[in-house]
Structure 1
Amino acid sequence: MPRGPEVPVQVWVDNELFQADQTLLVEQCGFFRGLFRSGMREARASVVRLGALSAGGFRTALRVLRGERPELAAAADDELLQAVECAAFLQAPALARFLEHSLTSDNCSLLCDAAAAFGLRDVFHSAALFIRDGARELAAALQSPEARAYVASLRPSTYVAVSTHTPTPGFLEDASRTMCYLDEDEDAWRTLAALPLEASTLLAGVATLDNKLYIVGGVCGASKEVVEPGFCYDPDGGTWREFASPHQPRYDTALAGFDGRLYAIGGEYQRMPMSSVECYDPGTGCWSFVADLPQPATGVPCAQARGRLFVCLWRPADITAVMEYAAQGDRWLPVAELRRSQSYGHCMVAHRDSLYVVRNGPSDDFLHCAIDCLNLATGQWTSLPGQFVNSKGALFTAVVRGDTVYTVNRVSTLVYAIEDGTWRLQREKAGFPRPGSLQTFLLRLPPGTPGPVATPLPEL
Structure 2
Amino acid sequence: MNDNLIFIGGLRDYKPTNEVSSWNFKTKIFQKLPSMNQSRFWHCVVLLNDNIYAIGGLALDEELTSVEMYSVSNGWKEIKNMITPRRHAGAIVLNAKIYVIGGYNGSYLKSVECYDPTTNCWTQCADTNEARDLCGATVHNGQIFVVGGFNGVRCSSTVERYDPQRDVWTKIWSLSIGMKCVNCISFDNQLWVIGGHDGGKCINNVSVYDGSNDKWLAKKSMPVAGYYYCFSALQN
TM-score with structure 2 setting the length: 0.83
Q: Which has the higher helix share?
A: 1
| Pair 1:208 & 2:47 matched | yes
Does the CA contact (< 8 Å) of 1:306 and 1:352 recur in 2? Answer: no
**Residue of structure 2 in register with 1:68 after alignment:** none
Letter in 2 for 1:357: V
Paired residues in the alignment total 230
Counterparts of 1:92-103 in structure 2 under 5 Å? none
Letter in 1 for 2:38: E
Gaps of 5+ in 2: none
Q: Of 170, 174, 182, which aligns to 1:333?
A: 170
Q: 1:231 to 1:356 in 2, by over 3 A?
A: same
Q: 1:164 to 1:311 in 2, by over 3 A?
A: same
Q: Between Structure 1 and Structure 2, whose CA radius of gyration is higher?
A: 1
**Residue of structure 2 in register with 1:380 after alignment:** 215
Counterparts of 1:328-407 in structure 2 under 5 Å? 328-340=165-177, 342=178, 345-360=181-196, 366=202, 369-390=204-225, 393=227, 395-402=228-235
Deviation at 1:163, TM superposition (A): 4.9
Gaps of 5+ in 1: 1-154, 167-173, 404-460
Letter in 2 for 1:205: C
Taking the aligned partners of 2:196 and 2:89, their CA distance within structure 1 comes to: 21
Does the CA contact (< 8 Å) of 1:301 and 1:312 recur in 2? Answer: yes
Taking the aligned partners of 1:333 and 1:244, their CA distance within structure 2 comes to: 29
TM-score with structure 1 setting the length: 0.45
Deviation at 1:332, TM superposition (A): 0.6
Structure 1, residues 233-270: CA drift from partner, whole Å, max 9, x if none? 113x151111111122222222222111111211222x
**Residue of structure 1 in register with 2:10 after alignment:** 164
**Residue of structure 2 in register with 1:322 after alignment:** 159
**Residue of structure 2 in register with 1:124 after alignment:** none
Q: For the aligned residues, what is the CA RMSD?
A: 2.8
Letter in 2 for 1:193: L
Q: Of 31, 41, 48, which aligns to 1:191?
A: 31
**Residue of structure 1 in register with 2:89 after alignment:** 253
Deviation at 1:284, TM superposition (A): 0.7
Taking the aligned partners of 2:3 and 2:172, their CA distance within structure 1 comes to: 30
Taking the aligned partners of 2:165 and 2:71, their CA distance within structure 1 comes to: 29
Does the CA contact (< 8 Å) of 1:362 and 1:369 recur in 2? Answer: no
Structure 1, residues 140-185: CA drift from partner, whole Å, max 9, x if none? xxxxxxxxxxxxxxx954332335148xxxxxxx8x812322x233
Letter in 1 for 2:224: V
**Residue of structure 2 in register with 1:278 after alignment:** 113
Counterparts of 1:28-427 in structure 2 under 5 Å? 157-165=3-11, 177-181=19-23, 183-188=24-29, 190-200=30-40, 202-221=41-60, 224-235=61-72, 237-269=73-105, 271-314=106-149, 320-340=157-177, 342=178, 345-360=181-196, 366=202, 369-390=204-225, 393=227, 395-402=228-235
Deviation at 1:364, TM superposition (A): 5.4
Q: Percent identity?
A: 17
Does the CA contact (< 8 Å) of 1:308 and 1:324 recur in 2? Answer: yes
Structure 1, residues 372-428: CA drift from partner, whole Å, max 9, x if none? 1112344232211243224x64x332111217xxxxxxxxxxxxxxxxxxxxxxxxx
Does the CA contact (< 8 Å) of 2:138 and 2:185 recur in 1? Answer: yes
Letter in 2 for 1:281: D
Q: 1:285 to 1:336 in 2, by over 3 A?
A: same
Q: 1:233 to 1:286 in 2, by over 3 A?
A: same
Structure 1, residues 291-313: CA drift from partner, whole Å, max 9, x if none? 00101221221011233221113
Deviation at 1:281, TM superposition (A): 0.8
